[in-house]
Every structure is written in structure tokens, then in C-alpha cells.
């Protein structure tokens, strides 16, 4: 386990495994630092792999772990990433998925020299209409469901309103989360993350004049990541990614990404 201190004095925790050039992984929503575990296991055969337990999803830092509120900002998480890079002591390749990809983009723009390159997969970058709906009704309704003791309903509202899954799929996602303690306890954090993404959207764009020598690779255009997946929707990384110097956005055929297929008899 790697531990260090962020710019504001907050402790930063990360799983640290393998040896070689360093890769830092920022997982997607509902992540306690373990959702990239399988990917890290593969990469750690050749690289040093550091998986952050992101501040946004640390219940020990929440004022109210059951309800969330007062989310940390994307900028706070960027400082956590930079603290980890300093602890590693050399430029790293930075990988981010979903809301973790937004943090990765901001980190790449904030300190280009800290990174050898970046891989940005399914970034939940809000560069159009707000994810939480006009007036923030999605977030308001989801927080009300959470306060009523219905975390599954809160996720159903989130995945339908923000991720735009059909209602029946959003309902299944909510049921799956409600029945899985690991995910259920992180629902307040997911809502906090949505609020932080909206706050980041309202900040003036500052990426255009910040090139870096690394490559950034955006995955296929998709909706923000949810526990049950979902059909593509979300804005890709091209707008912010233009700040990264050389940006490659491969199609699915070139990316190596393939949809999961059920095994015969499984």
C-alpha cells in the first residue's frame, strides 16, 4: 500500500503492486480501489501499478457516510493524483475510467510534465447539458431516495436520469447495487461524484493552452460508466483531449475493446 499526503493535508491511499515503469489507475464510479484489480494484475507482470482509492469514494472522509454531501472537488482529486506521482518519483502513465477519466484529464492538463502519457476511457466529461438535468432534479431526487433509506432507488434515478439508461435497465442496476453491500455503501459517493462533475462543468475551460508530450487515448463514445453498463451516449474526450498534444481516438475495431459475450452454458 502506498500512502502519501495531498496538498491540503488529506491522506492519500493507493494499492501498489509490480515493478517497472509506473502506471497510475483511476477507477470509475462505485470504486473502493478494487474495480481495476484484474487490470492491475495483468499489468503488474511488467509494470509498477498504483491503484488509487479515490478521495471521492472514501467513506472515512465523508461527513455523513450514509448520505454523502459536501463532495470533494475534481481539483482536490487532481492534487491527490499529483501527490502520488511525486511519491513515485518519476513521470507515470495515467489511466482513468468514467469519472476517474475526468480527474485524469484535469491532472494531465494541470501538470503535463508529471506524465509520460495518458489513457482516457469513457470520460464522463460534462461539456453539454448537465448530467443532473436542468435545475439538478436528478441529483435532488436521487438524494431524496437515499435519505429515505432506498439506495437502490437512488441509483436507478441516477442511471436513468444521468446515464440515460432505459427505466427497466436502470431499475435492474438499482436492484443489483442494493443487493451488493460493496456497492450499496458507496451510493452516497456516486451522487457526490455527480455533483462534483457538474461543478467542474461550470468552471471556465483552461485546457487549450496546456500541451503535453504524451498520448491520450479515448475509448469508444459511451455513456458514463454504470454498474450494469449501458448503451453509448456520452461526449468523448476530443474537446479536452486536444490540450494533451497528441490524441488518438481509435474506433472499437482498433482499440481492442470487445463486448462481453456469455459463455456457452454459462
Kindly report the CATH number assigned to the domain that includes residue 19. Answer: 3.40.50.1820
Helix axes 151-161, 167-178, angle to 10 degrees: 150
Look up residue 1 and give its three cell numbers.
500500500
The whole domain housing 16 covers: 2-129+203-255
Q: Is residue 265 part of a domain?
A: no
Q: Is residue 39 part of a domain?
A: yes
Q: Is residue 69 part of a domain?
A: yes
Domains in the chain: how many in total?
A: 1
pLDDT, one tens digit per residue, over 219-230 is: 443 444 444 444
Q: Is residue 196 part of a domain?
A: no
pLDDT score for 241: 46
Q: Is residue 20 part of a domain?
A: yes
Query: Which parts of the chain sit beneath pLDDT 50?
Result: 204-205, 207-246, 251-266
| β-bridge mates for residue 49, sequence order | 17, 23
pLDDT score for 202: 66
Helix axes 74-88, 187-201, angle to 10 degrees: 100
Please say whether the beta carbons of 159 and 228 come within 8 A: yes
Look up residue 117 and give its three cell numbers.
502519457
Q: Is residue 147 part of a domain?
A: no
Please say whether the beta carbons of 22 and 93 come within 8 A: yes
pLDDT score for 250: 54
Q: Is residue 68 part of a domain?
A: yes
pLDDT, one tens digit per residue, over 82-100 is: 999 999 999 999 999 999 9
Q: Is residue 38 part of a domain?
A: yes
pLDDT score for 47: 98
Amino acid at each position: 500500500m502506498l500512502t502519501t499526503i495531498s496538498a491540503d493535508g488529506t491522506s492519500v491511499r493507493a494499492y501498489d503492486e509490480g515493478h517497472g515503469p509506473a502506471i497510475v489507475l483511476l477507477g470509475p464510479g462505485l470504486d473502493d480501489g478494487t474495480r481495476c484489480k484484474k487490470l492491475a494484475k495483468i499489468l503488474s507482470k511488467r509494470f509498477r501499478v498504483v491503484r488509487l482509492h479515490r478521495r471521492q469514494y472514501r467513506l472515512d472522509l465523508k461527513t455523513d457516510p450514509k448520505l454523502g454531501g459536501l463532495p470533494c472537488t475534481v481539483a482536490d482529486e487532481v492534487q491527490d493524483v499529483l501527490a502520488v506521482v511525486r511519491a513515485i518519483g518519476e513521470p507515470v502513465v495515467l489511466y482513468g475510467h468514467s469519472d476517474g477519466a475526468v480527474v485524469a484529464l484535469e491532472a494531465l492538463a494541470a501538470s503535463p510534465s508529471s506524465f509520460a502519457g495518458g489513457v482516457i476511457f469513457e470520460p464522463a466529461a460534462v461539456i453539454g447539458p448537465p448530467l443532473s438535468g436542468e435545475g439538478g432534479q436528478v441529483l435532488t431526487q436521487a438524494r431524496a431516495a437515499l435519505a429515505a433509506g432506498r439506495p437502490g432507488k437512488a441509483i436507478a434515478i441516477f442511471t436513468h436520469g444521468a446515464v440515460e439508461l432505459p427505466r427497466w435497465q436502470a431499475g435492474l442496476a438499482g436492484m443489483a447495487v442494493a443487493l451488493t453491500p460493496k456497492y450499496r455503501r458507496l451510493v452516497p459517493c456516486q451522487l457526490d461524484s455527480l455533483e462534483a462533475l457538474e461543478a467542474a462543468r461550470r468552471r471556465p475551460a483552461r485546457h487549450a493552452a496546456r500541451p503535453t508530450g504524451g498520448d491520450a487515448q479515448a475509448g469508444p463514445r459511451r455513456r458514463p460508466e454504470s454498474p450494469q453498463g449501458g448503451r453509448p451516449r456520452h461526449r468523448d474526450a476530443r474537446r479536452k483531449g486536444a490540450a494533451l498534444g497528441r490524441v488518438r481516438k481509435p474506433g472499437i475495431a482498433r482499440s481492442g475493446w470487445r463486448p462481453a459475450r456469455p459463455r456457452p452454458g454459462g
